[in-house]
Structure 1
C-alpha cells in the first residue's frame, strides 16, 4: 500500500495535525494511501514512500534510500502544504496511476 509518514519532534501535535490535513488532501484527490504520524526517533524504523515534516525535523532524519522527503518551511499554511504535495514526484506518480485506471 502507498504510504506517507508525517514526522515531528514528539510525534503528537504537529504530526497529527498534518496527518489529518494530508488525509483530507488524499480523499479530495481520490488517492488510496495510508498516512501515519511518528516522532523523529521512530521515523527511521517505519517504511514509507514519502516522508513529510518541518524542515528542521527532516534535516535530522538519516537519509533513507529511495524515499522522497518534503521539508516544510511553513507547517500551518495549508495552501503551501498542498502545493508542496502536488509538486512531489511520488504524488504526481500516484495521480498519474489513478488517471491511467479511470
Structure 2
C-alpha cells in the first residue's frame, strides 16, 4: 500500500487527502498425486481503509496521523474432473505502506 497525503492549512483548517493503494499477493498451490484436467481459481480482495486524523496546530504545526487497514480475501478453486489426494495452498500478502506528507501553514 502506498499512501500520499497532501495537506494545506489555514485558520480555519482545510485538509485535502489523496490516497492510492496497491496490494501484492502471491499464491502457491501444491497438489501431490493429483490429476487435473481443468483448474480455475477466482480470488477477490477488498481493502477498506479507516483513517483517523488528529491535528493540533501550533506554530509550527504538529500533526498526528493514525491509519488502520483491514484486508479480506476470498479464494474459490474449481477443478472439474479432478482427483485430489492431498492439497496444500500457501498464500502470502504484503502491504507495505509509504506515507508522504506535505504541509503548508498560513495564519
Greater C-alpha Rg = 2
Q: Calculate the TM-score normalised by the size of structure 1.
A: 0.23
Give the number of the structure whose residues are more often strand, by fraction: 2
| Larger RCO (CA under 8 A, 6+ residues apart) | 2
Give the number of the structure whose residues are more often helix, by fraction: 1
